[in-house]
Amino acid sequence: MLTGKTIIVTGAASGIGAATARLVQAWGGRVIAVDRHQPADPVDAFFAADLSDRASIDALVAALPAGAHGLANIAGLPPTRPAAEVLRVNFVGLKHLTTRLVPNLADGAAIVNLASLAGLDWAEALPAVRASQDLAFEDVEAFCRDHGIAGARSYFFSKEALIAWTLRHRWTWRDRGIRMNAVSPGPVDTPILKDFVATLGARAEQDMAVMDRAGRPEDIAPVVGFLLSDASAWIRGANIPADGGLYAHVLDRRHRL
């Protein structure tokens, strides 16, 4: 499904990013990996970058080859990290990288943002979500203070803002055939799962209790791969849950179906 395509994968050294990089190659694509650490699995090219830092992202964009057919924004931080750092990597840095890269992407390219089930209530935080859409690196600390974003809330908000940003840019680059979508996993067995459970406590335990198992990176990567492929050309601005039914469970309970 990705034969002949070059895909940039951020967070490619572990978890869902590593699984996505393996899948892209298995589906015939070429992987340009971006991470702070060298991936253990073979990739076609690797670029080290700190996605919390504007200068590092700008240097990355200048170094990356032009003409990539896809961008998988998978790098992210868990809620155990400082709130401003989480927001910089999970949202502000992702935005900056994407908008800087778009002019260098091939026509018809696909952008896939890794959101989360944690962002499902984005519409309940509209004032902060709207205020975040043009948030710059230098304003993140003040933004967190002004909107009460601290602790685990930083992760939830970063994903809420990302889902809204994906919806907002459903047609932004339509004249070049470039589209953007998101994937929202539920709990996934990656190195940072323990951070979520430790931070979210009872809520995470309740979510896990109703599931048959936690997700695996290999459960999420094919959904990302599909959205990177031409088979999904008519899907634009979508946020696809990949969570073993947890989102459906939340909606069922919330609406008393």
Q: Give the domains, in start order, of the chain with CATH numbers.
A: 6-254 (3.40.50.720)
Per residue in 152-168, pLDDT tens? Answer: 999 999 999 999 999 99
| Start-to-end C-alpha separation, the chain | 38
Q: Residue 203: is its pLDDT beyond 70?
A: no
How far apart CA 16 and CA 219 sit, in angstroms, is: 9
Per residue in 219-249, pLDDT tens? Answer: 999 999 999 999 999 999 999 999 999 999 9
- pLDDT of the residue at 205: 66
Is residue 247 flagged as an active site residue?
no
Out of 104-108, 113-117, 121-125, 189-193, least confident range: 189-193
What global pTM score does this model have? 0.94
How far apart CA 17 and CA 45 sit, in angstroms, is: 14
How far apart CA 228 and CA 231 sit, in angstroms, is: 8
Per residue in 45-101, pLDDT tens? Answer: 999 999 999 999 999 999 999 999 999 999 999 999 999 999 999 999 999 999 999
Q: Which of 143, 155, 156, 196 is catalytic?
A: 155
Q: Residue 196: is its pLDDT beyond 90?
A: no
**Backbone angle region of 9, left / alpha / beta, with phi > 0 → left and psi within -120 to 50 → alpha:** beta
- pLDDT of the residue at 210: 81
**Which H or E element spans position 154?**
helix 153-168
